[in-house]
Structure 1
Amino acid sequence: MKPLADLVRPAKIDDVIGQDHILGKERLLRKLIESKHIPNMIFYGPPGTGKTTVANIIANETDKRIYKLNATEASTKDIKDIINDLDSLFAHKGVLLYLDEIQNFNKKQQQSLLKYIESGEITLISSTTENPYFTIFNAIISRSTIFEFKKLNEEDILDGIKRALKIAEEQIFNVHINYDEEALLYIAQVSGGDLRRAITNLELALYSSSSILGSDNFKIDISIAKECTQTSGFAYDKFGDNHYDILSAFQKSIRGSDPDASIHYLAKLIKAGDLLSICRRLLVIASEDIGLAYPNAISIVNSCVDAALKLGFPEARIPLAQAVILLATSPKSNSAISAIDSALKDLDSKNIGDIPFYLKDGHYKNSSNLGRGIGYKYPHNYPNNYVKQDYLPENLKDTVYYKSSSNKVETKIKEYLEKLKSGD
């Protein structure tokens, strides 16, 4: 007996759950399928969102013979074997190669496909759960149309579960299956947007019931649903696109002064056991986003990070949460990163000129013969330890890199500098 997830796999575009942004009426992918003009394509998105299903439908709708390879197991030889079959496939209108997890093919393996997709002998549909712009050879991308499959919402998953239940009734058990709406909703909620995972959990719930066989009164309740779905479908790959998306949301939530969202993304990172990434990002945020608005923040965060590294999980979650809430609720300033990035940009784009001679090292013998250090004014010899003199190269004279933000600490810094330079 086939798994339930295979039995419910749609054969028509109208039966595909979700993905209306590419498969809805008048949407691009749907129009391509209806026109039977299929270009090389890359399907990008999380597991269980319909990538393989749509590839199968395309093959059926266009009368192409479909070959399926998974790049985690396949080799260049598998591709050559398909090529060797081309001459015997006149009955079909070409070949469609569905290459799943293409990011696991190295550059040479991906390049081996180019000759055949350029000649039109093979139509390539590749899928990946990782950002194709990071993982797929540019020559493949330039010859392909990218379609992003989005994580399904709870309503989509619930629709898919109910469809699966109907098929299970008709094709597997031949009995009416009763259920609590709460139980199906729970299965949908913990699926993490992965319909295949939800249907697999549903199938487990069906078979785990001792009353299913021969019963006319079978029912899936919340207790069965929870027993068969002990963990949620939280997805995380330390080396993939998802890793950077969560870290990005984490930093942007702290920058946006939202402690609740910040803690949510921290929880995701903790759930993945990604302690090092959390610590590094917190130290960056302390200077990049809080900076001089609360200069002591980095010292406190550094102590929390040090404690977390010494403790390890699960206890590390406590000082990490302390650091996150501190940063999210602190005043914000990006004046430090803006200043250094502006200075670095000038180094790349301007003729900055030489260091003023009076600022150059004058401690070695005969340095004065070269004009080094002559004319330098020692600030501590002047009132308030300040004397006006130029420190930037002549070509950058009067350039302003540090622009204070309007927070309490930097307002005082600005006032101090203005008073110092005015001589008051």
Structure 2
Amino acid sequence: MEPDLFTAAAEDRQENDPSSSPLAVRMRPRVLDEVVGQGHLLKPGSPMRRLVEQAAKGRGPAGPSSVLLWGPPGTGKTTLAYVVSKATDARFVELSAITAGVKEVRAVIDGARRASGGFGKETVLFLDEIHRFSKAQQDSLLPAVENRWITLIAATTENPYFSIISPLLSRSLLLTLEPLTDDDLRALLRRALTEERGLGGAVSLPDDSEAHLLRIAGGDARRALTALEAAAGAAISKGEKEISLGTVEETVDRAAVKYDREGDQHYDVASALIKSIRGSDVDAALHYLARMIEAGEDPRFIARRLMISASEDIGLADPTALPIAVAAAQAVAMIGFPEAALTLSHATIALALAPKSNAAMTAISAALEDVKKGLAGPVPPHLRDGHYKGAAKLGHAQGYVYPHDVPGGIAAQQYAPEEVRGKRYYEPTRYGAEARYADVVEKVRERLRGDAPSN
């Protein structure tokens, strides 16, 4: 049986009995104008809007044959795929990489080829949590994407440059979704309260209760709507017409537990882990690490976050931090759970208690900002490649001073392009081992300018 028949049956049930579906599903936007947030992706002329508008005109999904939606949970990845499906008469098939495998993917592709050849009907495949697919599983999608047998819309909460294979990434339009603002969520909650497909005005939501729902939502629309549904149900069962703050507080823990079990809070907990490490609270960091482990998080995901933290938050204040994090990642890949919990604990404790410096992050951020502004002038002639015939005639590599021939190993010559000459990107702290670099860098800069003796 074709997978999309199940989807069609579910949609029929929802239309005939909307109350059978969760509030978050009932309130899912049906057209782009109902989508809250993500204005940068939905503005006129944007790739996503063109994709939907072309589909609505009966031309099938337009543009690339693969779209990757990257963002935290509850920001609208499934919603955007659903809007595309409603705008076109194409077959819409939804799979989750958590439960589906190569067999299910091949069944969809075979069905797409039959539908295209026999009925001229295109197929849109929405693949949720694509980062959970192995390399081999992702490879199985390539022929269908390359030959346009399907239009793939894939969603991921992980950085696709780490979790998606290069051939698929290079063939895809990457769209980054941002967490929803409080104003976005407020509009969504109020719509859910009043619309018939939502709560239909059965209860009202005072300002203090609304503010509490916004706080616990953390930019996640699905969490906000689920918490609202739980609180509304509790209020109605008590015969109340207003959702009091006390009712929200009574029900929110139960909603959060359900989401924890299904993995929707992993993004928040991962963020809390890194922020606890950054704040040197080793006990809080271990708490969040334990929650991620208990929730069944991929240990490689945790290890990647620790490696990023080692450079972003510690850097040269403790040069051993990154090697520890990298070693932990390598060990985790070899041993897996449950033993990997010990390795992750080892690394987390080391990073949390290390002296902190974000100088490496701010240095590259400042350099990148200048490059984006166009401050990227020609390489000075004496630094250019001189290993080819005719280089000398062009003045390339002429006048270059070999530092190893100079006392002290530092030659007073210009290295940076003229446009950024004298720019200081790296500003070391005085924390931990970086204090030594703070002394060294000033002396080196003086030597390079020729302001200090070379002995």
For the criterion TM > 0.5, the same-fold answer is yes
Query: Quick one: which of 208, 219, 225 aligns to 1:193?
Result: 219
Note the residue ranges of structure 1 that are not aligned, 5 or more in a row: 252-261, 292-297, 299-311, 335-348, 350-393
Q: 1:272 aligns with which of 288, 294, 307?
A: 288
Equivalent residue, structure 2, for 1:158: 186
The equivalent residue for 2:367 is: none
Could you state the TM-score of these two structures normalised by the residue count of structure 1? 0.61
Q: Which residue of 2 aligns with 1:144?
A: 172
Q: Of 237, 240, 248, which residue of structure 2 is paired with 1:225? A: 248
Q: Quick check: 1:204 aligned with 2:230?
A: yes
* Secondary structure of 1:72's aligned partner: coil
CA separation in 2, counterparts of 1:411 and 1:137?
A: 43
**8 Å CA contact retained: 1:205, 1:225:** yes
How far off its partner does 1:76 sit?
1.0
- Conserved? CA contact 1:69–1:97, under 8 Å: yes
- Is the Cα–Cα contact under 8 Å of residues 42 and 147 in structure 1 kept in the other structure? yes
Distance 2:153 2:96 in 1: 12
User: 1:200 & 1:220 partners in 2: Cα distance?
Assistant: 14
Q: Give the distance between the partners of 1:22 and 1:328, measured in 2 at CA.
A: 34
**Counterpart of 1:400?**
410
**Which one of the candidate residues 97, 105, 110 is aligned to 1:84?**
110
State the TM-score, normalized to the length of structure 2.
0.57
Are residue 181 (structure 1) and residue 200 (structure 2) matched?
no
Residues 1:54 and 2:80 are matched in the alignment: yes
Displacement after TM superposition at 1:209 (Å): 2.2
Partner AA of 1:29 in structure 2: M
In structure 2, the partner of 1:32 is: 51
Equivalent pair of 1:211/1:218 in contact (CA under 8 Å)? no
1:70 and 2:96 aligned: yes
Shift of 1:116: 1.5
- Go from structure 1 to structure 2 and tell me whether the alpha carbon gap of 1:22 and 1:400 turns closer, same or farther (over 3 Å shift): same
Deviates more, 1:86-95 or 1:183-192: 86-95
Matches within 5 A, 1:248-287: 263=279, 269=285, 272-273=288-289
RMSD: 4.9
| Pair 329,84 (structure 1): closer, same or farther in 2 beyond 3 Å | closer
Aligned CA distance change for structure 1 residues 100 and 268 (closer, same or farther; 3 Å): farther
Please give the alpha-carbon distance, in whole angstroms, between the structure 1 residues aligned to 2:454 and 2:154.
Answer: 66
CA distance in 1, matches of 2:429, 2:34: 55
* Distance in 2, Cα, partners of 1:224 & 1:63: 43
The residue type equivalent to 1:33 in the other structure is V
Is contact 1:177-1:219 (8 Å) kept? Answer: yes
Q: Report the residue type matching 1:226 in the other structure.
A: E
What is the alpha-carbon distance in structure 2 between the residues aligned to residue 199 and residue 406 of structure 1?
A: 44
Q: Residue 180 of structure 2 aligns to a residue in which SS? A: coil
Q: 1:121 to 1:282 in 2, by over 3 A?
A: closer
SS across alignment from 1:146: strand
1:196-234 deviation line (CA, Å, top 9, x unaligned): 01101111101122546xx5x510111112222236986
Q: Which has the larger radius of gyration?
A: 1
The aligned residue for residue 330 of structure 2 is: none
In structure 2, relative to structure 1, the CA distance for the partners of 1:265 and 1:140 (3 Å cut) is farther
Say whether the 8 Å CA contact 2:131–2:156 is kept in structure 1. yes
2:281 & 2:72 partners in 1: Cα distance?
18
Alignment of 1:109-128 (within 5 A): 109-128=137-156
Determine the C-alpha separation between the residues in 1 that align with 2:204 and 2:241: 6
SS in 2 for 1:125: strand
2:33 aligned with 1:14 = yes
